[in-house]
Structure 1
Amino acid sequence: MQPLTAEEIRRSFVNSSKSLVKAMTLPRDFGELPWESLDYLGWRDPKAPARGYLVVPREAGVTGIAVNTAASGKPRRGTGLCDLCSTAHQITEVSLFVARRAGSAGKAGNTVGTYICADLACSLYVRGLRDPEVPQGDTILPELRTERLTERLETFVGRVLT
């Protein structure tokens, strides 16, 4: 992913109000992000932990999507799978993220959701730069995992935009 400025990120959001985008807190390590290892920029808002952001490079330009997740509630056991990167995690490390649809559909209250790594670090998992606690059963090459992540991101963004 090409490095982006804070202003480029803020302008990219398609499903958020101007006030929400203005109030958005960028990642704490924004100046030190490993852009070359990212397929998208994803982070949880440190001031509003139930809120997250995905900034996805696409052919038409960069698309930003605000997502929300519910509090985890009581501790759960077991494993879960991220729908974007197919990384297995402890169930508490995978969250259902919901995005308001763009345009009039979103204003009418329509949303789409998917299960994503709770830390929104799929790019790092598919490249082996961050290790999940759960042993992974696949032997798929990182290049193929990256390709699949890109395809699934595009599908999710498309669902938000329609």
Structure 2
Amino acid sequence: MTPFTEQQIRASLVNATRSERQRMILPDLAQLRWDRLDYLGWRDRKQPLAAYAITEMDGEPVGIILRAPETSSRRAAMCAWCEDVADNSDTSLYVARRGGAPGRKGSTIGTLICTDFRCSRNVRRRPTLAESGADDDGARAVVVERRIEGLRERTRRFLQEVRSTA
């Protein structure tokens, strides 16, 4: 993923008001391993029910504000973005207000996502023999690449759906 600046991230939010953009607390961008991220997701440490997801579409950042669940609402389920079958112990339902007029009228969309946004790490884990079908590095690399592309596509599709005003 291309490293983005604080200004780019704030401007990228398609379902945020000006005040929501200003209140947003970003993670330490200098500490991120951008080359190992397929999207940037985090929970706001000062607003416990606010979370954010930013991805790249056509070379530009596109981001959304998500309503984070309360800590008691975590569940064992598969994340809709990374679809990791080995680690499904901590997912949460995140809800995003749609962009534009539908969002101002209260229209939302939700999905199950890894509670701590660890999807990029999950898709890069070493595939099991059952997943790769062969005990060689080439076959495993193909599985990891397929997972990465799937994560990127599902993330973009969700953010596009939030951005859509139709």
Q: 1:97 aligns with which of 73, 94, 99?
A: 94
* Bigger fraction of residues in strand: 1
Matched, 1:161 2:163: yes
Displacement of 1:142 in angstroms is 1.2
Aligned length: 151
Q: How many Å separate the matches in 2 of 1:118 and 1:75?
A: 7
Q: 1:150 aligns with which of 149, 152, 155?
A: 152
Computing the radius of gyration from Cα coordinates, the structure with the larger value is: 2
Query: TM-score normalised to the size of structure 2?
Result: 0.83
Aligned to 1:97, what secondary structure does the other structure show? Answer: strand
Matched, 1:7 2:30: no
Aligned to 2:26, what secondary structure does the other structure show? Answer: coil
Segment of structure 1 superposing worse, 80-89 or 106-115: 80-89
Aligned to 1:48, what secondary structure does the other structure show? Answer: coil
Displacement of 1:112 in angstroms is 0.4
RMSD of equivalent CA atoms: 2.1
Q: How many Å separate the matches in 2 of 1:124 and 1:97?
A: 19
Displacement of 1:75 in angstroms is 7.6
What is the aligned partner in structure 1 of residue 62 from structure 2?
63
Where structure 2 has 5 or more consecutive residues not aligned to the other structure, the ranges are: 133-139
Q: How many Å separate the matches in 2 of 1:81 and 1:56?
A: 21
Q: How many Å separate the matches in 2 of 1:34 and 1:9?
A: 16
Matched, 1:16 2:13: no
Say whether the 8 Å CA contact 2:15–2:103 is kept in structure 1: yes
Say whether the 8 Å CA contact 2:12–2:62 is kept in structure 1: yes
Q: How many Å separate the matches in 1 of 2:48 and 2:73?
A: 17
Q: How many Å separate the matches in 1 of 2:5 and 2:73?
A: 38
| Aligned AA (1:103) | G
Query: Cα deviations across residues 56-96 of structure 1 (Å, max 9, x unaligned)?
Result: 100162101000123143786xx310000012321xx2000
| Aligned AA (2:6) | A
Where structure 1 has 5 or more consecutive residues not aligned to the other structure, the ranges are: 130-134
| Aligned AA (1:17) | T
**Structure 1 consecutive aligned stretches of length 4 or more whose deviation exceeds 2 Å:** 72-76, 137-140
What is the aligned partner in structure 2 of residue 132 from structure 1?
none
What is the aligned partner in structure 2 of residue 48 from structure 1?
47
Query: Cα deviations across residues 23-48 of structure 1 (Å, max 9, x unaligned)?
Result: 00001x32110000111111111112
What is the aligned partner in structure 2 of residue 124 from structure 1?
121
What is the aligned partner in structure 2 of residue 32 from structure 1?
31
- For residues 145 and 31 of structure 1, do their structure 2 counterparts lie closer, same or farther at Cα, with a shift above 3 Å needed? same
Aligned to 2:88, what secondary structure does the other structure show? Answer: strand
